[in-house]
Amino acid sequence: MWSILMDFKLWISFFLFWIIFSCNKTPKKAKQLEGFAMGTSYNIQFEAETIEDEVQKGIDSLFYLLNKSLSTYLPQSDISKINRGDSTVVVDNHFRAVFEKATEVWKASGGYFDPTVGALVNAYGFGPETYINILSSDQLDSLLKLTGWQKVKLRDDGTVHKEFPSIYIDFNALAKGYVVDQLGVFLQQLGALNYMVEIGGEIVAKGKSPKTQKVWKIAIDDPRQRKVRQFLQTLILQDQALASSGNYRKYRVDPITGKRYVHSINPLTGSAQKTNILSTSVKAPDCMTADAWATALMVLPLEEGRVLIENFPHMEALWTVAKDDEFRVVESNKW
């Protein structure tokens, strides 16, 4: 089942919130940069012998370069041109890296992770206040022709072939994680061994906090909170990445049973189905992998997703699941 995540990345920073425990004195080398990019906020902390303004210029250049390749919101980006049917676009190495990761997770998830599912999402009319559109069998058959990652190929010459020109590719479910990773690489090239990069709740953390000289600690919001902010748990993140997806703010209540649920799309059948998985968090060695799998686990059946994650030695996951009026937390064995 494919969960509706287009809007989630805009508010997911409210789901995750990093905590840096203060100390009496901040080392002179500790630096922090904040801003707005990719439709959300970012926060970067690092320790390096360099001028912050120069680092900011490098960060801005990276955002520009990666958006030009991967952003579906920019009409002249490479992915937007490809989505309009331009088969002459030669993609860069960033596009290739994200494409290959998407293919890897698509295969490993048995097709539940699928960057071509956007046509179905739009047709069903998903949204927090809307009813799900009922599609006829003819409509569903037409949309399924435009769904399926196996219908998209990246040629050796760097051009993209789509089985049907109208197939729409959307990398939003993992591109932000890739950008986080690339910003981390940039900081390492500057000599930073201790840093944290966070974009809209997607995080990579290396070494220790320059402010505290302690390991990075991350707090995950509790979906049950109302006016007072509460946390499910606080995690140590050391040379790891963390990403989350969630739709607990977009649940519906079944008028007959009173149970909470959200709708998801099964990309294999095209059907809209109910699921009680409200959020997922994934720890992995890199943020693009964590980002992609956080999305995949939102749409995979819970036990099936749990088995998959536990077969990967360097990944861990946490789910929050609706149960009547309560939430329960499910963790992989290594979490």
Q: Give the tens place of pLDDT for each residue, 155-198.
A: 999 999 999 999 999 999 999 999 999 999 999 999 999 999 99
Q: What is the mean pLDDT of residues 281-306?
A: 96
Place of tokens 């088995």: 307
What mean pLDDT, rounded, does the chain reach? 85
| Terminal Cα-to-Cα distance of the chain (whole angstroms) | 24
Hey, which CATH number is domain 2-240, 1.10.1030.10, 1.10.10.10, 3.10.520.10, 3.90.180.10?
3.10.520.10
- Determine the distance from the C-alpha atom of residue 242 to the mean position of all C-alpha atoms in its chain, rounded to a whole number: 10
pLDDT at 18: 42
pLDDT at 130: 58
pLDDT at 250: 57
Asked if residue 126 has pLDDT above 80, the reply is no
- Give tens-digit pLDDT for 56-84: 999 999 999 999 999 999 999 999 999 99
Q: Which of 126-130, 222-226, 253-257 has the lowest mean pLDDT?
A: 126-130
pLDDT at 271: 84
Q: Is pLDDT larger for residue 110 or for residue 135?
A: 110
Asked if residue 248 has pLDDT above 60, the reply is no
pTM, entire model: 0.86
Q: Is pLDDT larger for residue 219 or for residue 147?
A: 147
Contact between residue 329 and residue 319 where contact means Cβ atoms under 8 Å apart:
yes
Closest to 3 in 3D by CA, of 253, 259, 278: 278
Distance CA 134, CA 115 (A): 22
pLDDT at 147: 95
C-alpha R_g of the chain:
20
Q: Is pLDDT larger for residue 222 or for residue 3?
A: 222
Q: What is the mean pLDDT of residues 262-282?
A: 84
- Give tens-digit pLDDT for 7-63: 444 334 434 444 333 333 344 478 999 999 998 999 999 998 888 889 999 999 999
pLDDT at 22: 34
> In this prediction, what percent of the chain has a pLDDT beyond 70?
82
